Homo-oligomer: A and B are copies of this chain.
Amino acid sequence: MPRQAEGRSPVGRPGSRPATSVDVAKLAGVSRATVSHVLNGQVERFNTDTVERVRRAAAALGYVRSAAGRALALGRSDFIVVVVPNVTFIRLQDVVQTLSADIEKLGFTAVVHFSVAGPEGTGTDRLRHLLETLRPAGVLDLGGLTRADREFAAQAGCPVLPPDKPPFNVNEWLGFLQADHLRSRGYARIAYALLADERDDSYARARAASVAAFCAAEGMPPSVDVHVPIEPEGAQRALEALLEAHRPPFGVACYNDKVALALLFAARRLGLAVPDDVGVIGMEGADVGQVVSPRLTTVRSDVRAAMRPFRYALAQAYGGPASREDEPVFGKEAFAVLPGETT
């Protein structure tokens, strides 16, 4: 049986291998080098006619260049590793999805890496392995990278974005927003509620520190940190512990809306009046916090605006000339206190 005639169809019939740049070159009647150049945007150096032929041929064959071949030739791949820290908020999915879309828009492919996946196998080892096999075009650090990991990546010739230390003081700002709101509502004492039982969370640390700094700067009593589990009895115990340090009324700035809700309902079960005895402000503006009664006071975040530093860093590093519209800092409009009924 004679071998099937060279199958080249956009849809790729079963058995027909995918088109390569050789196929495109043949069909366009040019050399493979020309195809490569044209398809990589070296357009001015060629006849418009040639360019057109190549493009048409590529389209006709449904040509998609092989990531592997390109990576091998270039010495680096078109992947960008997104490092997601051990951080817990409901809208994390939005964040990842938004960033993935931005990355794809730049012609790269996002590979998300969770800083700490489980008990066994440190995230560091897994990350380093990833960097070495993948040789990605970059690492987008949402805050999960240790200094050592950053250096490792840099040494491996893999730029880490954003170039400054990742939190961008965003956590400082968030802590300030919460503390400032609480004080403006008349609370003279402030506490910060972290999530209990979580592995070290750099965001939480930074925000608690920011709240503490606010209190110090404003001459208020030092803020008290408390770890709150998302579970009724534990939350109640945490709140009781807090009551021993701070006499009501006081305000609690919470790591996220889940923590806030846990404290809110714990307070009611303990017979404390909200917001008179205890004020609670959450963080992130999760929809679930707005459907309960009383409606949670929180800090609403606009994911796209909050991601601006990351988009900026990506555009700066990989973007075309037209993608410089963003600024390197998150928009102040990214975060705003959403007044509710709990402060």
Contacts and interface: CB of A to CB of B under 8 A. Distances in A.
Interface in A64-96: 64-69, 71-72, 77, 90, 92-93, 96
A82 to B, nearest CB: 10
A179 to B, nearest CB: 24
A287 B67 contact: no
A23 B231 CA distance: 55
Contact of A269 (B11, B97, B231, B293): B293
A265 B291 contact: yes
Contact of A72 (B72, B118, B126, B269): B72
A64 to B, nearest CB: 4
Contacts of A162: none
Contact of A133 (B64, B112, B257, B293): B64
B291 A268 contact: no
A281 to B, nearest CB: 16
A295 interface: yes
Contacts of A12: 152, 155-156
Contact of A231 (B111, B130, B291): B291
A113 B11 CA distance: 21
A14 B110 CA distance: 25
Given A93-B93, A231-B287, 19 more contacts: A11-B152, A12-B156, A64-B133, A66-B135, A67-B77, A67-B134, A67-B135, A72-B72, A97-B114, A100-B117, A109-B130, A110-B111, A111-B111, A112-B112, A231-B290, A235-B291, A258-B287, A258-B288, A266-B291
